[in-house]
Each structure stands twice: as C-alpha cells, then as structure tokens.
Chains A and B, each alone.
Chain A
Amino acid sequence: MSNLTVSNSTLMLGFVLVIVALVIGYIEKLHIDKDIIIGVIRAVIQLSVVGYVLKFIIKANDNWLTLAFFLIIVMNASWNAGKRGNGIPKAFQSSLLAIFVGTTVTLTTLVLTGSIKFVPEQIVPVTGMIASNIMVAIGLSYRNMKQTFTDRHQQVLEKLALGADIKLASLDILRDSIKSGMQPTIDSIKTLGLVSLPGMMSGLIFAGVDPVKAIKYQIMVTFMLLASTSIGSIISCYLAYKQFFNERKQLNNDLIS
C-alpha cells in the first residue's frame, strides 16, 4: 500500500492535465471548455461523496446497508440506461429488470463459487462494475434497435403483412441489437493484456498485489462482465422490441424517426 502516494497536493498538481485539455479546447475553438469544467467539478464532488459513503459502509459492515447500496447502484444505472432509450416507452422499467437480474445472477454466482465474499468492500465495487457495464450494453442495444427499426421498417411491415407475429417480424433486429450490446465486451476481451490492463488488475497491481494474482481477478471480472452484459442485453431487448408495436400488432410509427 506504500506505493499509493496520491495526496491533496499531488492532485492539485495533477490539475495541470485538465488545463492542457482546456487549452486545446480553447485554441481549437471546440466550445467544450464549459463542459470540461462542469465535468471535472462533478467528478471531484461525486467521487469525494462516494469515497466517504464507501468508507462509512465498509466500516459499518452491515448486510442490509450493503444491499441498500446495491439497490441504489442498480436503480441509478437503470435510470441512466432508460434515458439512453431515447423515447422507447418503459425503457426505465425494462432496464431496471435487465440490470437487476443481470447483476443479481452474476453476483450470486460469484459469491456462491467463493470468488468474492459478501462483504461491502467487495460487493459494492463489483456491483458498480457489473451495473455500469450492463448500463452501457443496454444503451448501445437501445440505440441500435431504434436505428434498425427505422432503417428496416419496410421489411418489418412486409413481414407483418405476410401474417408474421411481431417477434418473427423483428427477429433480425432483435438479434442485431443484442449483439451490439455485447460487442464492446467481446472486443475488449480479445485485447485484454495486449492493449489494455483493465481497472481491476491495474488497481491491484498499484496496491502492491502480485501481478500473477491480479490477473486471476481480472479473468474473473472478464467472465462476470461477459455473463452480465449478455443477460442484460437479452432481457432489455426482448422487453424493448415489443414497444415498437401497438396492441393490434401494428408498427408504432411515432418511434421511427
């Protein structure tokens, strides 16, 4: 742990890196200076609050408090994923079910197999990792679904006109959308260790853990993210595609831009 030397003063010096981004934005007239400043202020405040909250939860070591934090993370991720639904009705509810099931199944498997322990310092960060990955996967799936329904609406109409049920009429779109949610996870797995040394592994190495031991955790994280993004993408897509049709199984034109 002695390797960790970030102090308030070193953080202040590190702020120089933000100034670099601001200067580039200003010189190139990117008009992103305001966004950068707001983003940095938010990140500092949010992380400070989370740091103190986590410190409190870990110190309290209470199962109910841990579960409550798990639910807060799941709700927050679902709300953000729902926003990425961009007009798809019930996007929040679909995301909530997908993230809740995806996170619960993965966490339960990890705890039951003994990969992690049901203690706040392990449950809370792992929940965050899983939920945020499912959130990103769902966001990509929703975006792909909306775009593909728009691009292929004529084909969907023709299939419906031939007497197909809504699932058969949108099966290609459904498959493509599930795949698009899972694709970034699959792509990142392929380059693990070659291009990126991901967060979990890097964090452990930073904290002085033997890299050979650290990779075991990273392999576990890889399995965990693969399972959770698949579960999340499948559940959210299977719930979302139905929203593109009305009760008479007609294509809902309002959702197609």
Chain B
Amino acid sequence: MALFLLDSNLLLGMIIEYNEVHQHIKEWCIVEKIIEIKNLSYQVKDTKILHNINLNIEEGEDVTFVGPSGSGKSTLMRIIASMISASSGEVLFKGQKIENIDPIEYRQKISYAFQQPTLFGKTIKDNLAFPFEVRKQEFDRQKVTGYLEMVNLNETYIDKSVNDVSGGEKQRIALLRNLIFPPEVLITDEVTTGLDTENKAIVHRMLKDFNEQGLTILKVTHDETEINDAAIKITIRDGEIANV
C-alpha cells in the first residue's frame, strides 16, 4: 500500500512536470502577436484617412509600409504609437487593447521616431538625458557613450551644442533617444529621408542589429533600396491595405 502511494505520488509529479514542459514547448513554438489591428478606421470630420485596416504584426518582425504620399501610412503609425486615437476599431498590444494600457507606459514600449526630428534644449546631453529623465533615472554617461559609438559618434558629442551637428548626426542622435532604453516596437517614419548614403547605411545597420536582438520594427519609407530589401512589405493605398 505504502509502495502504491509512493508510486502514485511519483506519477502525479511526472504528470505535473510533463504539463509544465508541454506548456513551455507550446510557448516557444507560438510566435506571439505583438500588435493586432482590427477593423481600424480613422477620419477627420468627413474625410476618411484610413478604412477598415486589419493587420497582425508578430514579435521580432521587420515590417516595411509603402505607398503613395497621403495614403495614410503615417496616420496608421501614429495610431499604433498612441499619438492619436482611431475613430473606430481597435489596436491590441500583446492581446490587450491599448486604451486599457497607461499611455505613458505604452509609449515607452512602442517608440515612434519622426521624419524630421527636433533636438531639445541646448546640448546633445539634453537630448540623450531625456529618456533617463522620463524614467526618473540618473544620466549614465558610460551607457550613452556605448550607444553613440554604435552610430559612429563618440563621447565628445555629449557636450556639443545641438546647432553644431549635421543633419545625419541629428537623425542618429534622435534615434538614440528612442533606443537608449530599448522599446519592444520601434516605429520609424521616413527617418532616412534626406540622409546621404553613409548616414543611411549607419541607420540601416543600427536598426538591423536591434532587429536581430528581437526588436520589432515598423518602418515607413519611400526609399527604393529599403523597399527592395524589405523582408515584409505592406502597401497602403487610399487608406486601405492594398497587399501584404
């Protein structure tokens, strides 16, 4: 009887262990949908900008959004970044409606990089210290230097005036503001527009590195090379998804 009890306990333990392992295997095998967009529409007064958008973005994907100017790409990105709200439909982040997530917390996870960024304050430090300020943390010079080197800039840039950097350097510094505390999703809205070949290459390499480390990237671009190199391409035309 005692032997039987021992065996049944062992069996129970094995079943529990099996279930846990099975659960882990299931979790490993299913790639999580990081962003889900359901029946999303956006209009300003009577003008429809986006109409019935349905889209799933999986974790770690690098998705390129293309389409003519004014087709609604940037509007869609701004809705995903919670900078504006959809007129109808919903956006889910890891299965949760974004309306139910604190917008500040959400924007630290879904970071939006602008086409023509402005640098704040007087020095580059004012800009690179901002993400620390947002998180109420002390400025970490060593960490920032490491990130600057990643985009071919060095420590001396920290104390430079915002007026003493070139357009390409400005864009790279602005992108670092988004990446110093890596988000889960990075949205880049034509960030390479107007950059020379060398600066474009630096930005491409940096984004590729982050993507390889698991960062999901949503990219809006008109750049031919970026469009040709796109792993996943989504065309938006007249406020609707034309093809995936």
- What is the interface of chain A, defined by CB distance below 8 A to chain B? 154-155, 157-165, 168, 246, 248-251
B120 at interface, CB cutoff 8 A = yes
The CA of A159 and the CA of B113, in the complex, are separated in Å by 10
Residue of A nearest to B178 (CB): A162
> Which residues of B lie under 8 Å from residue A164 when comparing CB positions?
104, 130, 133-134
A162 touches B131 (CB 8 A): yes
A248-B82, A250-B83 are known contacts. Are A163 and B117 too (CB-CB below 8 A)?
A: no
> Which residues of A lie under 8 Å from residue B105 when comparing CB positions?
163
Residue of B nearest to A163 (CB): B108
> Which residues of B lie under 8 Å from residue A246 when comparing CB positions?
85
A155 touches B118 (CB 8 A): yes
CB within 8 Å of A: which B178-219 residues: 178
A162 touches B83 (CB 8 A): no
A160 touches B83 (CB 8 A): yes
The CA of A165 and the CA of B135, in the complex, are separated in Å by 10
In this complex, which of B104, B105, B131, B174 has the most chain A Cβ atoms within 10 angstroms of its Cβ?
Answer: B104
> Which residues of B lie under 8 Å from residue A161 when comparing CB positions?
81, 83, 107, 111-114, 178
> Which residues of A lie under 8 Å from residue B99 when comparing CB positions?
248
A162 touches B84 (CB 8 A): no
> Which residues of A lie under 8 Å from residue B112 when comparing CB positions?
161
The CA of A154 and the CA of B116, in the complex, are separated in Å by 9
> Which residues of B lie under 8 Å from residue A250 when comparing CB positions?
82-85, 103
Distance of B181 from chain A, by nearest CB (Å): 8
Please give 12 more A-B residue pairs, beta carbons under 8 A apart, in addition to A162-B108, A249-B103, A250-B103: A155-B118, A155-B120, A162-B107, A162-B130, A163-B107, A163-B134, A163-B135, A164-B104, A164-B134, A165-B134, A248-B103, A251-B83
B73 at interface, CB cutoff 8 A = no
A248 touches B85 (CB 8 A): yes
The CA of A246 and the CA of B113, in the complex, are separated in Å by 21
A168 touches B120 (CB 8 A): no
- What is the interface of chain B, defined by CB distance below 8 A to chain A? 81-85, 99, 103-105, 107-108, 111-114, 117-118, 120, 130-131, 133-135, 174, 177-178
Residue of B nearest to A247 (CB): B103
The CA of A164 and the CA of B104, in the complex, are separated in Å by 6
The CA of A203 and the CA of B70, in the complex, are separated in Å by 65
Cross-interface CB contact of A158 among B108, B118, B133, cutoff 8 Å: B118
A-B contact count (CB 8 A): 60
The CA of A138 and the CA of B133, in the complex, are separated in Å by 30
> Which residues of A lie under 8 Å from residue B81 when comparing CB positions?
161
A163 touches B104 (CB 8 A): yes
> Which residues of A lie under 8 Å from residue B111 when comparing CB positions?
161-163
> Which residues of A lie under 8 Å from residue B131 when comparing CB positions?
162-163
B103 touches A158 (CB 8 A): no
A168 touches B133 (CB 8 A): yes
Distance of A113 from chain B, by nearest CB (Å): 40
The CA of A84 and the CA of B131, in the complex, are separated in Å by 36
B130 touches A159 (CB 8 A): yes
8 contacts between A and B (CB under 8 A): A158-B114, A161-B107, A161-B178, A162-B107, A162-B111, A162-B131, A168-B133, A250-B103
A161-B81, A162-B131 are known contacts. Are A249 and B104 too (CB-CB below 8 A)?
A: yes
A157 touches B107 (CB 8 A): no
A165 touches B104 (CB 8 A): yes
The CA of A246 and the CA of B82, in the complex, are separated in Å by 12
Distance of B124 from chain A, by nearest CB (Å): 15
Distance of B191 from chain A, by nearest CB (Å): 12
Distance of B239 from chain A, by nearest CB (Å): 19
Distance of B22 from chain A, by nearest CB (Å): 37
Distance of B136 from chain A, by nearest CB (Å): 10
A162 touches B118 (CB 8 A): no
In this complex, which of B103, B108, B112, B133 has the most chain A Cβ atoms within 10 angstroms of its Cβ?
Answer: B103
The CA of A249 and the CA of B98, in the complex, are separated in Å by 13
> Which residues of B lie under 8 Å from residue A249 when comparing CB positions?
103-104
Cross-interface CB contact of B134 among A154, A155, A162, A248, cutoff 8 Å: A162
Residue of A nearest to B109 (CB): A163
A163-B111, A248-B99 are known contacts. Are A157 and B83 too (CB-CB below 8 A)?
A: yes
In this complex, which of A158, A164, A168, A251 has the most chain B Cβ atoms within 10 angstroms of its Cβ?
Answer: A158
The CA of A160 and the CA of B102, in the complex, are separated in Å by 13
Distance of A151 from chain B, by nearest CB (Å): 11
A155-B118, A168-B133, A248-B99 are known contacts. Are A160 and B107 too (CB-CB below 8 A)?
A: yes
B118 touches A154 (CB 8 A): yes
The CA of A250 and the CA of B112, in the complex, are separated in Å by 13
